[in-house]
Amino acid sequence: MTAVLFQQVSRHFGAVRAVDSVDLAIAEGEFFAMLGPSGSGKTTCLRLMAGFEQPTSGHIEIFGETAEGVPPYRRNVNTVFQDYALFPHLSILENVAYGLMVKGVGKAERLKAAEEALAMVKLPGYGTRRPGQLSGGQRQRVALARALVNRPRVLLLDEPLGALDLKLREQMQEELKSLQKSLGITFIFVTHDQGEALSMADRIAVFNDGKIQQLGTPEEVYKRPKTRFVADFVGSSNVLPPDFVASLGFGNSHASLRPEDITLGEGPGRKPFSGRVVATSFLGAANRVTVEAAGARVAAMVPASLAVPAQGETVTLSFLAEDLHQMDATP
């Protein structure tokens, strides 16, 4: 079954087209990511799903039911926000049970459900504490438990990991994915961090200027970007100009070539080209080497175990033909 359906959905704020004729179908039980820079339309789409915004035009369905005009409290969805929005004067247990209290669920039943939700997010025994006594990662889990206790069919996550440090963010990515698989409910995750989207999502929609630039699996979006924007935004790709691509023996169009697919030196079946080293950067496990070749700047990832060429040195780089992906004319 389709969990969320957008048909030609637009949302305008005056002259600004925040969402512009978006078509989208998200399957039940899918971990779906909406990825894009600030102002690209992804968060507005999430707010349209939640009912915090209404479409200017188009049609939205949630599990086959029309969503336009339906208030948030009557939709079988819950939202986890970036700032968590916990009540500082309530205990953790009361925070988690709050939604059930609003629905009129009896005290014993709602507190029992809240305890179960806290155990689900690995916070058993934390119910008597206050939000100010918890770390950022723990508060994020409480916000998640508060949403899950209502047993929504769709969970909307609005950049919920943005306030966490790198190590904790990576840990929570793994835990969110594991939790979604065990619960089997639809997760719709908004982020501007391509690493989060690639590591967690079953499918990704890449947004820019209110439109979906590309929709596909993480591997499809990363390996076969449709546009220059997607190639540049998702990961770090070399977006090669048409004349340079043609000089390598391919068609006259822009192409994407990931730095990790380029090696120093030649090899069997590889396409070589030469260039002058203009910059090098140490990145831990690898060095990023940037060369200027026939008017194009091309970056390659060189393992840290190999010698790094000096700036100004002429080097030969090579790649496999299948790793070069030619793109649409769309910017």
Return the domain boundaries, the chain. Answer: 2-231, 238-326
Superfamily of domain 2-231: P-loop containing nucleotide triphosphate hydrolases (3.40.50.300)
- Reported as a single tens digit per residue, the pLDDT across 259-309 is 999 999 998 999 999 999 999 999 988 999 999 998 899 999 999 888 899
- Reported as a single tens digit per residue, the pLDDT across 11-56 is 999 999 999 999 999 999 999 999 999 999 999 999 999 999 999 9
- Reported as a single tens digit per residue, the pLDDT across 58-96 is 999 999 999 999 999 889 898 888 777 789 999 999 999
On the CB side of 8, CA atoms within 13 Å amount to: 2
Closest CA relative to residue 289, chosen from 273, 310, 271, 305: 310
The one-letter amino acid at 88: P
Which residues, including other chains, have CB under 8 Å from residue 245's CB and lie 6 or more apart? 251, 252, 253, 254, 255, 324, 326
Residue 5's alpha-carbon distances to 8, 26, 34, 206, in angstroms, are 10, 6, 14, 17
Residue position matching structure tokens 């799903």? 49
Please tell us whether the domain made up of 238-326 is placed in CATH 2.40.50.100: yes
Closest CA relative to residue 218, chosen from 185, 241, 193: 193
Name the pTM for this structure: 0.88
The pLDDT of residue 163 is 65
- Reported as a single tens digit per residue, the pLDDT across 177-195 is 888 898 889 999 999 889 8
Question: What's the mean per-residue pLDDT of the chain?
Answer: 91
CA atoms of 50 and 30, how far apart (whole Å): 17
Q: Please give the sequence-ordered ranges of beta strands (E in DSSP) within the chain, or none if there are none.
A: 2-13, 16-27, 31-35, 57-62, 65-66, 77-80, 154-158, 186-191, 203-208, 211-216, 238-240, 255-257, 263-264, 270-282, 286-293, 296-303, 314-320, 325-326
* DSSP helix/strand/coil, 269: coil
